[in-house]
């Protein structure tokens, strides 16, 4: 009797489970592909994707390098002329078609290579970005100690140049903090103990097993969250996209009471208007827009492709852009208040302690917390925030690659999404293995500068030409009118067709004009490193001309002019909503708007 009752109970539970699953499935507008469970999940995912390490370690430094508060002028101009139009464009085409960054180019088939380039950029970014996630994970682990290991100069990893200004290390602290030969304990700990860094780019050294372990752990975390696709991402973003703001506020309130913090903030916000005449400020502003908004990686297209057809992307774009900019500015206040009191403790000026990138995150911050009471707590809080920021960018980036691959062969691969995601994570982990060597930092710098940095502006220029002129800006506005309560302003037409392409073209010129040999910690990269770098830059860009030529030649028919063939494959007659019920509201494509 008991066994029979148990079996009946299990059958009832299975029946309830099946009914529950059925109800959940019915909530998705797109049954085959799936949707976000709520518009809030999409918004938080976009915000988490856009807000990342660049807001913390790059934006404040660029403000310092380009005239303090004056840098906000080119930043917001570039944001309005490039960041905002590109993000709205990507969200619009993704939501309208419910397609990933490669298959979405049904809108302009001859430019499909742009989508392939986006996925290559995302893949390169994910490979090195998760190594930084691993560093944050390692430092978080080290923070669970009574005394932070970089507080004082330890014989195991320090040399005679090492100094610390923590009180408990006063006996070993040199009197002259301004001695340029001296190196902070956090600096030596990061480079000599954590990285085991070699003398230069040509010396890759051996594997650092502590880095191997944390890289594996970082990829396991990414896979576990992504193995169920957007359904699992949608639940994590409630925490990952909001928690960093709480920590930033706490860190600011803690740092602002320290002596010298106000001096740091003054240094941050004081405008030096003469910098506005320098090409570097405008080039840096354009590059930062791409880093901070995540446009041209394809991630925005992927995230929007899981929306319901009538989701208000116009509203979401405005809020995400505003939230992202606010985060960057807020991060600047936190960073410079910390750098201000660091300058006070070391008896130097703020400009002597300002740094960017890993140097800011894994040297300046860790050194600063050593002088605070409960330093392990503040260190743990900061590196937990850093870990969350890195992961909130990693999740959509890897999902972007998985979505692009699955959308190419949906009937074959969609049932095996779990295995596709696992394969991508495993492959990227293997490709990231060289970053765990003693020379890994030099490889990371090369990937960040050439593999992604220079490619994005070119991709952005090609994308806005393809959509604004190939598919037609007016056609895209018609599509948006089908999805939104009202037609967007005609201002977007002029931005997509004229303003954004011209501004991006000038930004590319500014970047190329300001080219300098790469260096890290005083080590200038050899010439062959630059050659490798430009090869990396070309990899995401080569699919554009290759696919362009292939599509043009394969579509050419006898007796049809080259120009007519080009116009025919420049705009997509098959670019339409995924669901048949929305085909009836479609607006006819205006051929006059295509390269007219």
Is 50 assigned to a binding site? yes
In a domain, 21, yes or no: no
Q: What average pLDDT score do residues 567-578 get?
A: 80
DSSP state of 592: G
Q: What average pLDDT score do residues 46-69 get?
A: 88
CB atoms under 10 Å from CB of 232, counted, come to 14
Q: What average pLDDT score do residues 282-289 get?
A: 88
Q: How far apart are CA 64 and CA 128, in angstroms?
A: 26
Q: How far apart are CA 157 and CA 149, in angstroms?
A: 11
Is 371 assigned to a binding site? no
Beta strand spans in 148-207 (E) = 162-163, 183-184
Is 307 assigned to a binding site? no
The pLDDT > 70 percentage for the chain reads 90
Is 292 assigned to a binding site? yes
Predicted pLDDT of residue 586 = 61
Tokens 């290579």 locate to 113
Q: How far apart are CA 356 and CA 328, in angstroms?
A: 14
Asked if residue 106 lies in contact with residue 466, where contact means CB atoms within 8 angstroms, the answer is: no
Q: Identify the CA nearest to 226 among candidates 403, 386, 390, 103.
A: 403
| 523 DSSP β-pair partners | 520
Q: How far apart are CA 314 and CA 214, in angstroms?
A: 39
Q: Which residue has the higher pLDDT, 476 or 9?
A: 476
3-class DSSP string for 210-228: HHHHHHHHHHHHHHHHHCC
Q: What is the dihedral of CA 361, 365, 370, 371, to 10 degrees?
A: 170
Q: What average pLDDT score do residues 519-544 get?
A: 93
Predicted pLDDT of residue 588 = 59
Predicted pLDDT of residue 26 = 47
φ/ψ bin of 500: left (φ > 0), alpha (ψ from -120 to 50), beta (otherwise): alpha
Question: What's the pLDDT tens digit per position in 426-470?
Answer: 999 999 999 999 999 999 999 998 988 889 999 999 999 999 999
Q: How far apart are CA 335 and CA 319, in angstroms?
A: 24
Q: Identify the CA nearest to 270 among candidates 262, 281, 282.
A: 262
Q: Which residues, 6+ apart, have CB-to-CB distance to 389 below 8 Å?
A: 51, 52, 53, 55, 56, 244
Predicted pLDDT of residue 582 = 86
The pLDDT > 90 percentage for the chain reads 64
Predicted pLDDT of residue 22 = 35
Is 311 assigned to a binding site? no
Q: Identify the CA nearest to 248 among candidates 345, 329, 129.
A: 329
DSSP state of 582: G
DSSP for 344-368 reads: HHHTS-HHHH---THHIIIIIHHHH
CB atoms under 10 Å from CB of 230, counted, come to 25
Q: What is the dihedral of CA 589, 592, 594, 596, to 10 degrees?
A: -170
Q: What average pLDDT score do residues 54-70 get?
A: 86
Which sign does the torsion angle of CA 459, 461, 467, 471 carry?
negative
Continuous H helices in 192-312: 209-226, 230-240, 243-255, 261-269, 279-293, 299-305
Give the CATH number of the domain where residue 375 resides.
1.20.1740.10
Predicted pLDDT of residue 171 = 52
Is 324 assigned to a binding site? yes
In a domain, 3, yes or no: no
In a domain, 12, yes or no: no
Q: How far is CA 439 from the centre of its chain?
A: 24
Tell me the C-alpha to C-alpha distance, in Å, between residue 228 and each of 37, 103, 231, 234, 419.
Answer: 13, 21, 6, 10, 10
Asked if residue 410 lies in contact with residue 327, where contact means CB atoms within 8 angstroms, the answer is: no
In a domain, 69, yes or no: yes
CA angle 566, 571, 572 (to 5 degrees): 125
Q: What average pLDDT score do residues 513-535 get?
A: 89
Predicted pLDDT of residue 595 = 62
Q: What average pLDDT score do residues 345-372 get?
A: 82
φ/ψ bin of 196: left (φ > 0), alpha (ψ from -120 to 50), beta (otherwise): left
| 162 DSSP β-pair partners | 183
Predicted pLDDT of residue 140 = 98
Predicted pLDDT of residue 585 = 62
Q: What are phi and psi of 454, to 5 degrees?
A: -75, -30
Tokens 């003693």 locate to 438
pLDDT above 60 for 92: yes
Q: Identify the CA nearest to 462 among candidates 88, 211, 86, 201.
A: 86
Predicted pLDDT of residue 1 = 46
- The three-state secondary structure class of 519 is strand
pLDDT above 70 for 127: yes
Predicted pLDDT of residue 182 = 79
In a domain, 14, yes or no: no
Q: How far apart are CA 427 and CA 420, in angstroms?
A: 11
The mean of the pLDDT values for the chain is 88
In a domain, 511, yes or no: yes
Q: What average pLDDT score do residues 148-156 get?
A: 92
- How many domains, the chain? 1
Where is average pLDDT lowest: 104-113, 175-184, 265-274, 275-284? 175-184
Range of the domain at 99: 32-593
Structure tokens at 167: 């009180």
Is 196 assigned to a binding site? no
Q: What average pLDDT score do residues 465-485 get?
A: 94
In a domain, 146, yes or no: yes
Q: What average pLDDT score do residues 334-339 get?
A: 90
Question: What's the pLDDT tens digit per position in 365-386?
Answer: 898 898 888 999 999 999 999 9
| 163 DSSP β-pair partners | 184
Q: How far apart are CA 69 and CA 63, in angstroms?
A: 7
Residue 295: pLDDT band (50, 70, 90) is: very high
Asked if residue 163 lies in contact with residue 153, where contact means CB atoms within 8 angstroms, the answer is: yes
Q: How far apart are CA 85 and CA 101, in angstroms?
A: 17
Q: What are phi and psi of 520, to 5 degrees?
A: -145, 120
In a domain, 7, yes or no: no
Tokens 């710098």 locate to 445
- pTM higher than the cut 0.85: yes
Q: How far apart are CA 117 and CA 103, in angstroms?
A: 13
């Amino acid at each position: 009797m008991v066994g029979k009752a148990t079996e009946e109970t299990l059958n009832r539970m299975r029946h309830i489970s099946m009914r529950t699953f059925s109800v959940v499935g019915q909530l998705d507008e797109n049954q085959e592909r799936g949707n976000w469970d709520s518009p809030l999940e999409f918004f938080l995912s976009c915000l988490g994707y856009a807000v990342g390490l660049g807001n913390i370690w790059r934006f404040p430094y660029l403000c310092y390098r380009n005239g303090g508060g004056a840098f906000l002028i080119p930043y917001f101009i570039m944001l309005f002329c490039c960041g905002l139009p590109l993000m709205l464009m990507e969200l619009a085409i993704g939501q309208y078609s419910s397609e990933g960054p490669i298959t979405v180019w049904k809108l302009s088939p001859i430019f499909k290579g742009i989508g392939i380039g986006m996925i290559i950029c995302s893949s390169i970014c994910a490979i090195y970005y998760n190594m930084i996630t691993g560093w944050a994970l390692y430092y978080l682990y080290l923070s669970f100690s009574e005394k932070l290991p970089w507080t004082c100069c330890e014989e195991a990893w320090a040399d005679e140049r090492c100094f610390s200004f923590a009180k408990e290390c006063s006996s070993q602290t040199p009197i002259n903090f301004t001695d340029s030969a001296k190196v902070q304990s956090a600096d030596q700990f990061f480079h000599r103990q954590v990285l085991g860094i070699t003398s230069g780019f040509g010396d890759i050294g051996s594997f650092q097993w502590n880095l191997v372990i944390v890289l594996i752990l970082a990829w396991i975390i990414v896979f576990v969250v992504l193995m169920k696709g957007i359904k699992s991402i949608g639940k994590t973003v409630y925490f990952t996209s909001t928690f960093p703001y709480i920590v930033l506020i706490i860190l600011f309130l803690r740092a602002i009471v320290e002596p010298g913090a106000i001096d740091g903030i003054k240094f941050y916000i004081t405008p030096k208007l003469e910098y506005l005449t320098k090409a570097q400020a405008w080039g840096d502003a354009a590059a930062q827009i791409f880093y901070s908004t995540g446009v041209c990686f394809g991630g925005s297209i992927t995230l929007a492709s899981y929306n319901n057809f009538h989701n208000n992307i116009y509203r979401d774009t405005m809020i995400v852009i505003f939230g992202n900019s606010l985060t960057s500015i807020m991060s600047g206040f936190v960073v410079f208040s910390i750098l201000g009191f660091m300058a006070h403790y070391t008896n130097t000026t703020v400009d002597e302690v300002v740094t960017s990138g890993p140097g800011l995150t894994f040297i300046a911050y860790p050194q600063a917390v050593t002088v605070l009471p409960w330093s392990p707590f503040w260190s743990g809080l900061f590196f937990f925030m850093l870990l969350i920021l890195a992961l909130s960018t990693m999740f959509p980036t890897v999902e972007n690659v998985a979505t692009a691959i699955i959308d190419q062969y949906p009937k074959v691969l969609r049932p095996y999404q779990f295995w596709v995601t696992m394969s991508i994570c495993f492959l990227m982990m293997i490709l990231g293995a060289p970053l765990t060597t003693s020379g890994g930092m030099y490889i990371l710098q090369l990937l960040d500068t050439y593999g992604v940095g220079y490619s994005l502006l070119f991709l952005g220029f090609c994308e806005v030409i393809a959509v604004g002129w190939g598919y037609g800006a007016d056609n895209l506005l018609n599509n948006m009118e089908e999805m939104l309560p009202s037609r967007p302003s005609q201002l977007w037409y002029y931005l997509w067709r004229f303003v954004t392409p011209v501004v991006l073209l000038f930004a590319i010129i500014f970047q190329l004009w300001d080219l300098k040999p790469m260096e890290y910690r005083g080590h200038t990269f050899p010439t062959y490193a630059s050659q490798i770098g430009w090869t990396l830059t070309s990899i995401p860009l080569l699919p554009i001309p290759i696919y362009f030529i292939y599509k043009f030649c394969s579509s050419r028919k006898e007796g049809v002019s080259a120009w007519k063939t080009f116009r025919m494959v420049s705009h997509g007659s098959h670019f339409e909503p995924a669901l048949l019920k929305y085909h009836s509201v479609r607006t006819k494509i205006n051929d006059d708007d295509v390269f007219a």
